[in-house]
């Protein structure tokens, strides 16, 4: 498994800034991983976790949006525990409390100029993370691989002037062929380079569902309350988008049980009732200990069982929801899969 020098953690709304940092780091000689380089068919949560653990340093881009992201906070916490966190403030914001005492590079005014003192200081810090014990007087950043540079190739319309805002040094002779190859790749891929990544799609779906959830304010909410939850009361709100229950992503509610299928069942609103649809699960879906056929109504007060996990159908006023029901983002386990969880 490759070990990138830098893993970039950011909020989806800050993707243009993340791209600028990724390309600039590559130009400094670092190998970079961020979710824009994921391949079709890859399971994004597994790949992100793997690359996060493998990276030599983790650059967290703090902004008003990322500080509210449990996803980004989780990645920052993991990096901090591994002693490889390099936080960078890209906009004026109040940092999460647990990171207040961590030195944070302020590049909120940086526009891509690699001669900027703040940028040079950040590069020096990263060099020490990537190669600890290296002579700081003569830093020699590793030459990025061709593969890394190809993955980070900007679209053809993104010129060096737009990226850096200043003069660029001419390419060395042995880089001419690489530059031509990058240009061909950028032209061939065209606008595909600007397509959202799987991780961004998952977040976008979550934000859409969160909006639906907030629009229900003042109305009664159909909920599934998990019975005998080890972490305390856990309530899942069923919005107009429905609630997919299964063992892995892209399920909304993840049930890590051997008797649960990858996509086990779908709970959705039908008029003012809940309907449960079994998705050809191996071990079946049960309502009050009776196996569901293709689709059946889940009455209020009835118990839905998936594997060994049970949920009771409740109708609650929004004012009765536990603190935390007004979700903005999700934690790493639930967040990457689009769960909507309210915890007391």
* Cβ pair 223, 238 in contact under 8 A: yes
Residue range 92-120, pLDDT digits in tens: 999 988 888 888 999 999 999 999 999 99
Residue range 23-50, pLDDT digits in tens: 999 999 999 998 876 555 555 567 888 8
What does the pLDDT read at residue 43?
55
Q: For 166, which DSSP code? A: S
What does the pLDDT read at residue 216?
44
Banded model confidence at residue 91, pLDDT cuts 50, 70, 90: very high
Spatial neighbors of 132 by CB under 8 A, at least 6 apart, are none
Q: Is the pLDDT of residue 267 over 90?
A: yes
What does the pLDDT read at residue 117?
94
What does the pLDDT read at residue 338?
38
Give the integer Cα–Cα distance in Å for 223 and 300.
9
Banded model confidence at residue 169, pLDDT cuts 50, 70, 90: very low
Range of weakest confidence among 58-62, 115-119, 123-127, 160-164: 160-164
Provide the CB-side half-sphere exposure for 58 (13 A, CA).
26
What does the pLDDT read at residue 321?
63
Spatial neighbors of 155 by CB under 8 A, at least 6 apart, are 186, 189, 190, 191, 193, 194
Give the integer Cα–Cα distance in Å for 284 and 306.
7
Q: Is the pLDDT of residue 185 over 80?
A: no
Give the integer Cα–Cα distance in Å for 264 and 284.
8
* Cβ pair 255, 264 in contact under 8 A: yes
């Amino acid at each position: 498994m490759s070990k990138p020098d830098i893993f970039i953690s950011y909020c989806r709304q800050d993707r243009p800034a993340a791209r600028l940092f990724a390309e600039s780091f590559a130009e400094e000689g670092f190998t970079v991983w961020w979710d824009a380089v994921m391949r079709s068919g890859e399971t994004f949560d597994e790949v992100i976790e793997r690359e996060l653990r493998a990276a030599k340093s983790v650059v967290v881009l703090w902004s008003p949006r990322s500080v509210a992201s449990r996803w980004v906070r989780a990645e920052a916490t993991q990096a901090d525990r591994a002693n490889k966190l390099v936080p960078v403030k890209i906009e004026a914001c109040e940092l999460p409390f647990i990171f207040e005492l961590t030195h944070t590079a302020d590049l909120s005014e940086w526009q891509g100029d690699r001669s900027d003192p703040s940028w040079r200081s950040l590069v020096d810090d990263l060099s020490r993370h990537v190669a600890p014990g290296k002579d700081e007087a003569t830093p020699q950043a590793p030459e990025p691989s061709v593969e890394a540079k190809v993955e980070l190739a900007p679209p053809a319309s993104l010129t060096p002037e737009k990226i850096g805002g200043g003069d660029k040094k001419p390419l060395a002779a042995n880089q001419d062929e690489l530059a031509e190859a990058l240009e061909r790749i950028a032209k061939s891929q065209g606008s595909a380079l600007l397509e959202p990544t799987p991780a961004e799609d998952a977040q976008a779906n979550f934000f859409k569902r969160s909006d639906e959830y907030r629009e229900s304010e003042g109305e009664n909410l159909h909920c599934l309350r998990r019975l005998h939850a080890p972490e305390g009361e856990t309530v899942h709100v069923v919005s107009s988008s429905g609630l997919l229950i299964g063992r892995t992503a892209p399920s909304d509610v993840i049930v890590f049980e051997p008797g649960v299928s990858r996509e086990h069942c779908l709970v959705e609103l039908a008029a003012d009732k809940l309907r449960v649809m079994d998705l050809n699960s191996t071990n079946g879906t049960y309502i009050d200990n009776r196996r569901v056929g293709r689709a059946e109504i889940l009455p209020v007060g009835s118990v839905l069982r998936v594997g060994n996990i049970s949920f009771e159908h409740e109708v609650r006023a929004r004012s009765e929801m536990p603190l935390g029901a007004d979700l903005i983002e999700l934690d790493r386990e639930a967040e990457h899969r689009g769960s909507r969880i309210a915890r007391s």
